Chain A
Amino acid sequence: MFSSSLLLAITCLYMGLLFITALVVERRAQGGKNPSNHPVVYSLSLAVYCTSWTYYGSVGKAANSGMLFLTIYLGPTLVSIFWWTILRQMVRIKNTYRITSIADFISLRYDKSQAVAALATIIALVGLTPYIALQLKAVVSTFGILTQRPESEAAQSNVGILVVALMILFTVVFGARRIDPTERHQGLVMAVVLESVVKLVAFLAVGIFVTYYLYDGFGDIIARFQLSPWHKLMITGDGRDSSYLTWASYLVLSMSAIMFLPRQFHVAVVENFDERHIPTAMWLFPVYMIAINLFVVPMAMTGLLSGHPVDKADMFVLLLPMAAGQQWLSLMVFLGGFSAATAMIILSSMTLSTMVTNHLFMPLISSFKQLGFLRRYLLPCRWMAIALIILSGYWFEKAVGEFYLLVNIGIMSFAAVLQFAPAIIGGLYWRRGNKPGALMGMSAGFAMWIYTQLIPAFVRNGWLSPALLTDGPWGLKLMAPEHFLGVTGLDSVTHTVFWTMLVNIGLYLIGALYFKGSDQEQRLAEEFVTALRPGRTLGAPVVRQADINLSEKKDLFEKRLARYFPSSRAKNIVDDCIMTLGLAGKEWISITELAELNSAVERSLAGSIGAAAAHSALPERMIFSLTESLALSDVYARKLAELRVPPEELKRRIDYHQEREALLNSQAEEMATQIMEREREIVRRQEVEQALRESEERYRTILQTAPNAITLTRLEGGQYLEANEAFCRITGYPREEVLGKTPFELNLLANPEDRQRLIDELKEKGELIGFELQYRKKDGTIIDALLSARGLRSGREDCLLVVGTDITARKQAEVMLKESEEKYRNLFTFAPVGIAITAVGGRVLSYNDAFLKMFKYDDKDLSAGMNARDFYRNSGADRMEMLNKLMAEGQLENYQEELFDSTGKGFPASLSLRVIQYEGQTCIQTIIRDITEIKKLESALMDYAENLEMMVDRKTRELKAANEELSAVITSLEETREQLAVSAHQAGMAELAVSILHNIGNAVNSINVRLSRLDGNLSGRDIISLEKIHNLLQTEEMIPAQSPAQADRRGKLIKYFDATIASFKENYQRMRDDHEFMKRGLDHVIETISLQQKYAGIRGSETPENLNDLLRDALDMLMDSIKKRGIAVELQQNPVPPVMINRNRMVQILINIIKNSYEAIDQTGRTTDHKINLSTTVEKEDGREYVRIVIADTGVGGAPDVLIKAFRFNFSTKGRGSGFGLHDAANYINAQNGSIDMFSEGPGQGTRMVIRLPIPKGEHGGEQPNNSN
């Protein structure tokens, strides 16, 4: 079969189609073409009566009770006989009073009673909930059958909720998009008509299918059925529920329902366009019902014959095509049933929501002011009412519906609606029917309905004890709901109809007979009862169309007037009338405009021939056609109807007004004079008002331009009614933001309770001045304000006029002033100088601690009235003199005077005086400084100044002499400078000399190297070896003297050795002397060359040299000496970049240092641990790179004082050292911006020489490391 989603989609599509139809119709209606204004549409709209109850339930009822189901449709047919009177009467009343619902209709008749309307609404609401439940049950059940869903509770619940949601949505969209319920819903009516057609077509289709496809027509089915065991089921009257009384009850109920069901009332009365549609409905609607019921019995029989269970008879309509495999026919049947259900639900919930909002909700919000705001949300409230109504129906279906066939649920609602019948019928035809009767009757009938219908339903649902039905409440069988007062033999429906009508009609009559309605109610009763009497309108349209040709009427008028005037004059009169009425240019006019034109022409004519003649000259039958006369009568009738006054009352009023007119005429003249007086008064008032306006404008200008903030607020609530520009400027809020708001909403008050405090004080004092509070500006800044406030009345409100000044600056100034005062007070009190304020006469008014201390007084003395005159010499004569001067000059500064303290001791003082105002009188402020110490210092300073002058004189003389000497020196220097200038001219000659010096230096260096090597060779070791041999020879063990000759030879040999050794020593000494001599001479030459080079301003011939190479060269030169001493050399050379250096000088320096190292090792006398370490590295210091050469030895080392002196000229630790080598090395290296240092841990700890030479910028890296030992 169909999937749920597909079926849902089809359903929504179908509803969308209906909605589009409704929308198109509404738009066309707005354009003046209303398709729903047609008797057929009206008739088919009544078919909303045929709900899913008809659609499915009729078959179910037929299968159970035979022809009883037909009463539901025979009743409406029967009552349609009366429609021409009853329905037409209701339509006329509706047109007159713009009735919107059945509750509105009933309440109007009964004194426009809200109570009656509310009761009718409640009855409809409670009574129709089961009916809506019925529709929902039908949709949910058929949805489940068509989709073959397992009928689990959850699944049904989901579908049910979905259906409910859709119904709510459709109802809101179709029927409650607008708030005005008086408007007709043409679109909705057309949608209902379309649904009526769909459900009829669907039902006929399945009926024809069952009757003529499954069987061979009615006869075949009936014949077969009569032979079947279910035959007895359909014999009407044999079943328990099919007695004649049941039959009659159903007829009564259906007759009532077709008229008084709210939805039927809506489509039949409220939606009626024209009462001329009623006669068509009187036959077309019954025809529709015949058609839709034609196949009910065959289908019921077929269902039973096909073996479907009787309790599923409600669904035979759907089950039969499904069982025959007719899917699309089944879908059609479903859509027909869905149409039937939705039309009913939409219309019922829409009308009920209107009733609920108008008659329950509105009175409720009128009674409670707190709910007043809900008036603005009337439309959402209607939507909510719709939702609640449909949801209530769904709840009822879930809770109770399971125990009822569809038709039984429907009949329950019919019984509820029946309670309207006595009040409506009585109201339409019985003048004495009144509000108390209606209220009592409907209340009692409704209560009885609840007791006899609803309570049993609850019992069957299990909510109440079953004993209630059998034994009655509290065991009172007479009170049993279904056998009330012992009435038995009636089925439930008949029982309810009997008792509800009995109490309803009975109390209605009693109320009508025992109570009297108000005058208004009686007038309304007259209106209702006589609604169809002649003179009342008969279905005339409310708005008349402009369908009368003006030119034709104009010709007619001109012809009539031409009898009395020339044609041109007649034409002018008619044209003037047309112009006056504003009809010029129109081609078509309405009947009312024609009537106005007729009156105007008649009045014009009456001015010439008199009123009576004018009226005769323009007979109405000549001007108005028959149709126009009817239309005009209709208009007048409507006008009268709108007055809502009975004819007798109208006549009485007319008489009254005629008398009143005469009286008014008599008073007219008197009034004319009074009017003249009034006019003068008005002129005066206008002048006063003008003055007031100007005054108001002035005040407004003052208000707005005032520098102070001025506001007018409500006393209660505090909303701002007015605020001037200063207020807005001070608070930062624009005026439009302020007005209507309260200070609390604006968060304007820093302390919200200030306003109440202000009001309290204002109430207490009547007027408030100088009230301080703090405002919070829009930007959050807190400001101080000083307010003046006064209460006043504006209109009917108590208001508060507040004038405020921003005193934030003043407050801040006050704070600063306080601080200043505090500072002044501290300054005054704790100042180190005496300060006193005295009266002119001398009385001390104020003073500080220093003052007391200065004069050695205490407070008691002063408070006892001590006088400033006592401080001065000659009993204040000095003071008077000083004061005279003060008065003359205004102030005195550093006025020196001798004052006297309390002990009579005088002291010098410096006074500063001012004339000030103190405590309201002119006083003297005196600042007194004790200048005793200053005076002493002055004296000492004077002495010192005298000595200083003498010293200055002496020094001046010395300086003068020195200056003269200096001048001489300067003169000498000038001469020297001139000589140097001459020398500079000769500097060019030096260049050649430098070159020579360089070449000589190179040669001398080579010699120097050789000399150094020679020095190593002259160490004297050979002599020492000879001396050792000599010593050995002297011992006999070495050369034993075995004979005297041998002894002699040995003696000679020893002598020879002695002589040889002496000779060697002599030669050696001579050679060393020569060497030393040469060395010194060479050193002198080298130094000389160096000095010459230096003086020549040339740093030498520095070339980029790699110090690793130089160090290796130096080491090579000394390697023989080193090896001879057994000294281990460790050379660690790291890659270094070249440095700018004089190669020979540097090699010589390195040789000297290495030589010093091994000589220091010699001095240790050790035979082991002879080691010299040499290394080259690159180091960085202060952003500059250096090549660092370290030469360390294990020699004798040096004490700190030796280290300090090492580089001095002529200092040497070696006995034969010149003391020039290291000095020269240091000079040269320093000249190259390098450094040389000597380190030693102390004697015996070796020495470490460190040389650093700068690497020229741009030189980095170097050769690969070359380490060797």
Chain B
Amino acid sequence: MRGIGHLMKVPGSTALAFGLVWLLLSWPFWAGPEYREPGFLLSYLFIIWIFLVGVPALAAGDSVSTRAEENQQEDAGTDV
């Protein structure tokens, strides 16, 4: 999870994630009408949604600890 946390801080990686999710959300419109049936689409979208929620949730605690480490490194660099 620490890796995810690091990725979350990289603008490029967040943009990539965003694009990926966007594609996933758009896929039913390209795949055909049967994939836009309420029964399927509801399940599909909720799965993606949970995924979307899960990653930040896992990264959240990790990101705080990462920030503390980062600050310590910065402090060490400035210490005489």
Contact = CB atoms under 8 A, between A and B. Distances in A.
Judge: A and B partners, yes or no.
yes
Interface of A: 66-67, 70, 74, 77-78, 80-82, 84-85, 222, 225-226, 231, 234-238, 243-244, 247-248, 251, 276, 279-280, 282-284, 286-287, 290, 294, 297, 301, 534-535, 538, 615, 619-621, 626, 629-630, 633
A283 B41 contact: no
13 contacts: A74-B45, A77-B49, A78-B25, A81-B52, A84-B8, A85-B11, A231-B38, A235-B37, A238-B33, A251-B22, A283-B56, A535-B74, A629-B79
**For the complex of A and B, 8 pairs with smallest distance between CB atoms:** A283-B57, A279-B60, A282-B56, A244-B29, A286-B53, A236-B36, A283-B56, A234-B38
Nearest to A84: B8
B1 to A, nearest CB: 12
A620 B41 contact: no
Contact of B52 (A84, A279, A286, A626): A286
Nearest to B21: A78
Interface string B63-80: 110010011101100111
A282 B60 contact: yes
* Chain A interface SS verdict (over half): helix
Contact of A70 (B45, B63, B64): B45
| B26, B49, B59, most chain A CB atoms within 10 A | B49
Interface of B: 8-9, 11, 14, 17-18, 21-22, 25-26, 28-30, 33, 36-39, 41-42, 45-46, 48-50, 52-54, 56-57, 59-61, 63-64, 67, 70-72, 74-75, 78-80
A222 B70 CA distance: 50
Nearest to B10: A85
| A225, A237, A535, most chain B CB atoms within 10 A | A237
A629 B77 CA distance: 12
A633 B75 contact: yes
B14 A66 contact: no
Contact of B29 (A247, A286, A538): A247
A141 to B, nearest CB: 26
Nearest to A66: B38
Contact of B14 (A81, A535, A538): A81
Contacts of A234: 38
A672 B49 CA distance: 74
Given A70-B45, A620-B79, A279 B36 contact: no
A196 to B, nearest CB: 17
Contacts of B54: 283
B74 A247 contact: no
A82 B26 contact: no
A85 B8 CA distance: 9
Contact of B38 (A77, A225, A279, A534): A225
B4 to A, nearest CB: 11
A343 B11 CA distance: 33
Given A70-B45, A279-B63, A630-B71, A235 B53 contact: no
A222 B71 contact: no
A495 B14 CA distance: 29
* Chain B interface SS verdict (over half): helix
B72 A222 contact: no
Contact of B36 (A66, A248, A619): A66
Nearest to B67: A538
Given A84-B63, A235-B36, A297-B42, A247 B52 contact: no
Contacts of A633: 71, 74-75, 78
B65 to A, nearest CB: 11
A92 B58 CA distance: 24
B5 to A, nearest CB: 9
Nearest to B11: A85
Contact of B49 (A85, A237, A290, A301): A290
Contacts of A247: 25-26, 29
Given A66-B38, A67-B38, A77 B52 contact: yes
A629 B75 contact: yes
A276 B53 CA distance: 17
Nearest to B51: A77
B25 A251 contact: yes
Nearest to B79: A621
Contacts of B8: 81, 84
Contacts of A248: 26
A280 B53 contact: no
B80 A237 contact: no
Nearest to A276: B64
A80 B64 contact: no
Given A81-B8, A283-B56, 4 more contacts: A226-B38, A535-B74, A621-B79, A630-B72
Nearest to B39: A222
Contact of A286 (B26, B39, B49, B63): B49
B18 A82 contact: yes
A81 B75 CA distance: 29
Nearest to B17: A81
| A67, A297, A534, A615, most chain B CB atoms within 10 A | A67
Nearest to B63: A279
A632 to B, nearest CB: 9
Contacts of A70: 45, 49
Contacts of B22: 78, 251
B43 to A, nearest CB: 9
Nearest to B32: A237
B41 A66 contact: yes
Contacts of A615: 80
A286 B58 CA distance: 13
B45 A626 contact: no
Contacts of A243: 29
Nearest to A77: B52
A626 B74 CA distance: 11
Given A67-B36, A78-B52, A237-B33, A279 B74 contact: no
Nearest to B68: A630
Contacts of B26: 244, 247-248
A533 B72 CA distance: 15
B38 A626 contact: no
Contact of B25 (A66, A74, A283): A74
A633 B78 CA distance: 10
Nearest to A287: B53
Contacts of A626: 72, 75
Contacts of A284: 57
A226 B63 CA distance: 45
A534 B74 contact: yes
Contacts of B29: 237, 243-244, 247
A923 B76 CA distance: 120
Contacts of A619: 80
B36 A237 contact: yes
B60 A283 contact: yes
B71 A538 contact: yes
A1220 B31 CA distance: 170
Contacts of B28: 236-237
Nearest to A73: B49
| A81, A84, A231, A615, most chain B CB atoms within 10 A | A81
B6 to A, nearest CB: 11
B21 to A, nearest CB: 6
Contacts of A280: 60
A66 B59 CA distance: 32
A774 to B, nearest CB: 82
B38 to A, nearest CB: 5
A534 B71 CA distance: 9
B3 to A, nearest CB: 15
Nearest to A540: B71
A615 B79 CA distance: 12
A82 B13 CA distance: 10
Contacts of A283: 53-54, 56-57, 60
Contacts of A244: 26, 29-30
Contacts of B38: 66-67, 222, 225-226, 231, 234-236, 297, 301
Contacts of B78: 633
Contacts of A538: 67, 71
Contacts of B37: 226, 235
